[in-house]
Amino acid sequence: MKRSQSLKGFLLMETLVGLALVLIAAVALGRTLHQTVRCGKTGILRLQHDQEAVSWRNRLLSSEFNNADLSNGIHEGKAGKWHLQWQVDGISSGLKRIRLTVASGPFTTRRIFHKSIYIHDSAGASMLPSVSGRRQ
């Protein structure tokens, strides 16, 4: 016996294949979004580390040359969630090398900079002694 009317619509198998394709696309999109958020959080944490390192570098550079925080040796401190360590080495009577480490969680940021008893004026032609990190 022949049917006189054609059936319109989708078969069950076609519907299941379509749902499977949508599911695969949704899982791929979810994984991509998860990775993007994770990378964003990591980037923010690294930026915070850099900002904290720069802040402490500026604090140490603005200290007087003979400040206790700039005495030779290893110094440690904690500021909120940040663990700080800096090692001061006297290179000469007027120059110190400072190795700063800022750590929090799985990340560590390291900076090396120098503190001089002398600072340059804006033209760079003369040298002025440092007093509390300000020009005289």
**Intra-chain end-to-end CA distance of the chain, in Å:** 108
pLDDT of the residue at 5: 64
pLDDT at 75: 93
Which strand ranges, in their side-by-side order, compose the sheet holding 73-79? 73-79, 82-92, 95-104, 107-116
What single-letter amino acid sits at 39?
Answer: C
Angle at the Cα of 56 from the Cα atoms of 130 and 54, rounded to 5 degrees: 100
Q: Which domains does the chain have, with CATH numbers?
A: 12-129 (2.20.25.110)
pLDDT of residue 6: 64
Write the DSSP symbol of residue 88.
E
Distance CA 94, CA 45 (A): 36
The contacts of residue 45 (CB under 8 Å, 6+ apart) are 104, 105, 107
The pLDDT value recorded for residue 134 is 42
- pLDDT tens track for 98-114: 999 998 888 888 899 99
User: Consecutive 10-residue runs of the chain (136 residues): their mean pLDDT?
Assistant: 65 90 93 88 84 88 88 90 92 92 86 82 40 42
pLDDT attached to residue 25: 93
Tokens 């949508």 appear where? 22
